């Protein structure tokens, strides 16, 4: 495996693990989600450029558009949470706990 594939692989898995294991802030989770989408964009673009399949460059631009949609929806949720609880700490979202 060459070094570019290894670095992009580890970027993807750091993003996934950062979304799954998150302790403190909701904004850290959203930033790890953005890292995941950036890694997907870089992966698809480099793979299609190296292997000369040019249709997927088009797809990666659309992926960037939909990642913007997703980020703004997540930020709207975080703003609503921050206005209700005055913080976005994950330990404060315990209204439905028994």
Partner 1 sequence: MVFYLFMLLLLLGSTLVFYSLSPYYAALGLMISSLFGCVVLTSLGLTFLALLLLLIYMGGMLVVFVYSSALSADRYPMVSNLGEVVLLFLLLSFWVLFIFEDFLESSTLFNLLSPLNDLSSLSVLYDYGGAYLLVGGLALLVVLIVALVVSYGSSLLALRAL
The footprint of partner 1 (CB under 8 A) covers 1-4, 6-7, 10-11, 14-15, 17-18, 24-28, 30-32, 34-35, 38-39, 41-42, 45-46, 49-50, 54-55, 57-58, 60-62, 64-66, 68-69, 71-73, 75-88
What six digits make up the tokens of 93? 């979202």
Residues 30, 42: Cα–Cα separation, whole Å: 19
Q: Shortest gap between Cβ of 96 and partner 1 (angstroms)?
A: 14
Q: What is the dihedral of CA 66, 68, 71, 72, to 10 degrees?
A: -110
Rg, the chain, Cα only: 17
Residue number, 25 or 94, with CB nearest to partner 1 = 25
Please list, in sequence order, all residues whose beta carbon lies within 8 angstroms of the beta carbon of residue 27, skipping any fewer than 6 positions away: 78, 88
Q: Shortest gap between Cβ of 98 and partner 1 (angstroms)?
A: 21
Q: Shortest gap between Cβ of 24 and partner 1 (angstroms)?
A: 7
């Amino acid at each position: 495996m060459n070094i570019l594939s290894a670095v992009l692989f580890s970027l993807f898995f750091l993003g996934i693990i950062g979304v799954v294991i998150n302790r403190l802030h909701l904004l850290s989770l959203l930033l790890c989600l953005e890292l995941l989408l950036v890694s997907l964009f870089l992966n698809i673009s480099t793979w299609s450029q190296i292997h000369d399949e040019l249709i997927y460059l088009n797809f990666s631009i659309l992926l960037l558009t939909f990642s913007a949609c997703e980020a703004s929806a997540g930020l709207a949720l975080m703003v609503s949470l921050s206005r209700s609880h005055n913080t976005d700490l994950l330990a404060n979202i315990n209204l439905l706990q028994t």
